[in-house]
């Protein structure tokens, strides 16, 4: 085996029907249901059209900064609905991809990308309609030499992504839901969403109970000063 130049099969992935259910939920509510312990950091921001929601199974790529050889291969391997997650070390010197690779991915039915690195052709990517999260933008193009690996565990600002995990993204950012936890988590997240909808309705009709604020303050010994 050549260290740093490996391509593995994806042995499992989150079900498409389950991914669609997650797509109907705010990322914030799913994150709350995961005890707010998982995040990909604030550097990854959306570079797609406003209102776009990204939800699909991960193909992971680990590559040296500024090199996209293995990203090209991941596009060739992708299945419809997949999200290609690229750990390029967060470096912004050279872009990992631009509009041409986006068009290739769209022909395969790829739902989107998460790039821990830079992109270019930002306007064209936004107009393409594909989901795109990246750490930044630069006009400097990529190299195509490798090394790199496909379908290995990657970590973005402490958020571990394994091949087949659910990648969920909206205007608040990106979240990874482990494949083996997705079935149980969707029930918690949908309940969280239902409770929030109920609370908003109570705010609108004036029946919301705000007594918990004073209760917590009193429990903590708050003092009201003149």
209 annotated among ligand-binding-site residues:
no
| Strand 131-137, strand 148-150: pairing | unpaired
Cα-atom radius of gyration of the chain, to the nearest Å? 20
* Residue 183 token pair: 């079935």
Angle, CA 88 vertex, CA 87 and CA 92 arms, to 5°: 135
What 3-state class would DSSP assign to 79? Answer: coil
Helix or strand run (H / E) with residue 201: helix 182-205
**CB atoms closer than 10 angstroms to residue 196:** 15
What 3-state class would DSSP assign to 213? Answer: helix
32 annotated among ligand-binding-site residues:
no
Scan for tokens 């500024």, then name that residue. 66
**Residue whose C-alpha is closest to residue 106's, from 128, 73, 136, 77:** 128
200 annotated among ligand-binding-site residues:
no
99 annotated among ligand-binding-site residues:
yes
Strands annotated E in the chain? 5-7, 45-46, 54-63, 83-87, 95-97, 112-119, 131-137, 148-150, 154-156, 159-161, 166-170, 173-177
* Residue 85 token pair: 């997650």
Binding residues: 98-101, 120-121
Task: Tell me the binding residues for Mg(2+).
Answer: 121
């Amino acid at each position: 085996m050549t260290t740093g130049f490996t391509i593995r099969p994806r042995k499992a992935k989150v079900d498409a029907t389950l991914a669609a259910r997650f797509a109907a939920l705010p990322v914030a509510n799913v994150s709350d249901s995961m005890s707010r312990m998982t995040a990909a950091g604030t550097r990854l921001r959306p570079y797609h059209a406003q209102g776009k929601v990204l939800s699909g199974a991960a193909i992971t790529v680990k590559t040296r900064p500024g090199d996209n050889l293995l990203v090209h291969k991941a596009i060739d391997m992708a299945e419809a609905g997949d999200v290609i997650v690229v750990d390029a070390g967060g470096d912004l010197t050279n872009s990992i991809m631009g509009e041409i690779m986006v068009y290739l991915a769209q022909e395969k039915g790829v739902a989107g990308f998460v790039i821990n690195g830079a992109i270019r052709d930002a306007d064209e990517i936004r107009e393409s309609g594909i989901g795109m999260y990246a750490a930044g933008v630069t006009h400097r193009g990529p190299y195509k030499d490798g090394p790199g690996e496909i379908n290995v565990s990657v970590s973005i600002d402490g958020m571990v992504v394994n091949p087949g995990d659910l990648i969920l993204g909206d205007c608040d950012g990106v979240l990874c839901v482990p494949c083996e936890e997705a079935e149980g988590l969707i029930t918690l997240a949908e309940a969280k969403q239902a409770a929030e909808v109920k609370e908003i309705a109570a705010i609108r009709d004036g029946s919301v109970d705000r007594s918990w604020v004073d209760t917590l303050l009193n429990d903590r010994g708050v003092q009201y000063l003149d």
